[in-house]
Chain A
């Protein structure tokens, strides 16, 4: 894999094909984010989950599912992999750092229903033929998710000081804000290397 290919995949997944603004994966969780510290913690966990799940799912898909024509069974297998990968750090942290393990345990349902982990794994399995590309793509997708979270939370913090109509307070205003940011990110579509 050449450097230009790597850059194309990386910038494409971070900017133009950002999984949050181009596919709305994981956007719902960002709309209600009010506490920056908790948002950052959850965002980092989701980012790590994206990378680990995509990397663990790729060999399973490549060597177990695809050779037997079981692409339709990707979703349940990937859900299983994501669940196991979320359980492992929880079990490890429960023994090493119980307080941190308790926080992991608190947030697990949120991560389980977060489609961004599953969506990234499914997308990257389709577009990445090699493991190196998949690794770069997974890290880039995670970075794009973090970037989107940072930008959106910053914008949403600013909207607190606005005085919108009562019906548009909260999620509707956040959705419109996200739409404007997504429109800005769509401007990167013409980027080529």
Chain B
């Protein structure tokens, strides 16, 4: 069937303007803008031969205005459906060498899936087009794209049957026929395609439009599919300027073009072998990317030592000053923070970005407060003296800044990583807090975890048991830790330079 069509196409001498298989002169603007094809732009394509640069072969004088069909504001003809006019179908399909038709006589066909089939050479073509009436969208810049000899390479059986098309064939026929190749079998298989096709006409037009959109100069860097489309569109641009120079590159284009309608026909008919790469109407929500896992060793090292939240981050000044007056209370406060941190980190990781950041932070705060209530009850039951010593500090310790400081990290990582991070940071914080409380206890009251270690002749420095002493000791320890870290980094840098 396609052979018949191709046989109908006359050989075109080089010195003559391009003529379609139906004998129609398609005026082609040399540089038609390919950008910004809007769906709503439906004007009549009006351009003169001064624009197209073609000779008035059909007898029209220079300046004759041709009306091709709906055109958007950028000059791209969006839809030219010759087949829907049943009266002119035979006339259109029959090649008439040297006698070009007046294009203005061709009605601009609105897609008519139920268009009556006419007898003649184009009958099968009519049938195909009835299945896919809106596949003849032609961009002017594609008009003189040579046809694809390589359409045999395409995976669709209908496309493999597509024969070589002589160069210089008008692009509207090339693209329309290539586009029709894939659904041709499907339309023969099922007559319901004629009814189903108009529903997908919009998506088909989108599919046609994509390469033209990729024609934009800035679309060259677009990744993946858009990139390939851009490359093909660039090839089509080259083909417009010199249609006979590189026949293989436009062939690639026609292959790609013929794929898209195949996939669209799959939507309409459901009997196409091509995978569905057609753009869908409703953008699908991208699947949620799996959360990254951080290495456990580095998390542990960072949380406990190198980026200790209390010493280096100075997160949790309040527990260190108010609740860590002794080693025992400091240990209890550290365990409270650790428990609250594990629960909130795990919950934050599981919630992730399902909630807004602010709402998630508030929820974590509430969760930490709930955990602190349980901790207070447990402390009152197990260690009543410590609970009395801590008092209201238990809920405040659980709601301290460390809980929310790690929440953002946990929300972006895998629950396992969040759990390890919580354990590391909580353990590091508890350890530092316990050591800090023990130091304060030793200096401030000469005891260690309740044991008397007083030295005769060395009275306790009471200020370190007070909040002011806690602030002073914390500031001094933090500065000392920074000093050690700076020295260590400097020594590492020096050793590396010495090695070099």
Instruction: Mark B445-480 against chain A: 1 for CB-CB distance below 8 A, else 0.
Output: 000000000000000000100111111101110111
Among candidates A75, A109, A175, residue contacting B475 with C-beta atoms closer than 8 Å: A175
Closest A residue to B478 by beta carbon equals A172
Would A167 and B358 count as touching, CB distance under 8 A? no
Among candidates B362, B370, B380, B471, residue contacting A24 with C-beta atoms closer than 8 Å: B471
Would B314 and A24 count as touching, CB distance under 8 A? no
- Tally of B interface residues using CB under 8 Å: 47
- Shortest A112–chain B CB gap in Å is 6
Among candidates A167, A174, A175, residue contacting B483 with C-beta atoms closer than 8 Å: A167
- Tally of A interface residues using CB under 8 Å: 44
- Chain B CB count within 10 A is highest, among A75, A112, A113, A180, for A75
Residues of A within 8 A of B317 (CB): 24, 27-28, 31, 175
Kindly state whether residue A5 has any CB partner on chain B within 8 Å.
no
Q: Is the interface of B mostly helix, strand, loop or mixed?
A: helix
- Shortest A82–chain B CB gap in Å is 9
Kindly state whether residue A126 has any CB partner on chain B within 8 Å.
yes
Closest A residue to B377 by beta carbon equals A72
Closest A residue to B321 by beta carbon equals A24
Among candidates B373, B377, B467, B479, residue contacting A21 with C-beta atoms closer than 8 Å: B467
Q: Give Cα distance in the complex from A107 to B376, angstroms.
A: 30
Would A79 and B314 count as touching, CB distance under 8 A? no
**Interface window among A35-43, A45-53, A116-124, A130-138:** A116-124
Known: A24-B317, A27-B318, A122-B392. A172 touches B399 (CB 8 A): no
Q: Is the interface of A mostly helix, strand, loop or mixed?
A: helix
Q: Give Cα distance in the complex from A24 to B476, angstroms.
A: 16
Residues of B within 8 A of A109 (CB): 357-358, 361, 404
Among candidates A28, A118, A178, A179, residue contacting B399 with C-beta atoms closer than 8 Å: A118
- Chain B CB count within 10 A is highest, among A28, A109, A115, A123, for A115
Residues of B within 8 A of A94 (CB): none
Residues of B within 8 A of A180 (CB): 468, 472
Residues of A within 8 A of B362 (CB): 83, 112
Among candidates A76, A115, A118, A167, residue contacting B486 with C-beta atoms closer than 8 Å: A167
B-binding residues in A (CB < 8 A)? 21-25, 27-28, 31, 72-76, 78-80, 83, 105, 108-109, 112-113, 115, 118-119, 122-123, 126, 165-168, 171-176, 178-180, 182-183, 186
A-binding residues in B (CB < 8 A)? 314-318, 320-322, 357-358, 361-362, 365-366, 369-370, 372-373, 376-377, 380, 392, 395-396, 398-401, 403-404, 463, 466-472, 474-476, 478-480, 482-483, 486
Q: A75-B396, A179-B471, A186-B468 are in contact. List 7 more A-B contacts (CB 8 A).
A: A21-B467, A25-B322, A28-B314, A78-B369, A83-B365, A172-B475, A175-B472
